[in-house]
Amino acid sequence: MSLENAPDEVKLAVDLIMLLENHDLAPETVLKALEIVRRDFEGKLRPDSAP
């Protein structure tokens, strides 16, 4: 299956997976880092959050 027509979130997910796998990090480390990223971006969804 080609990613050419995939939604942007799928393309980004594939890119992130490849990037993280290339760094040979422990899955636990990756998941902890992703949780930090998630909280950061969730904060950006709130209208009262600063840019």
What is the Cα–Cα distance from 4 to 15, expressed in whole angstroms?
13
CB 20 within 8 A of CB 26: no
Instruction: Give the per-residue pLDDT at 49.
Output: 57
Q: Residues 6 or more apart from 49 whose CB is under 8 A from it? A: 43
Query: How does pLDDT run across 2-36, given as a tens digit for each residue?
Result: 889 999 999 999 999 999 999 999 999 999 999 99
How do the domains of the chain map onto residue ranges? Answer: 8-45
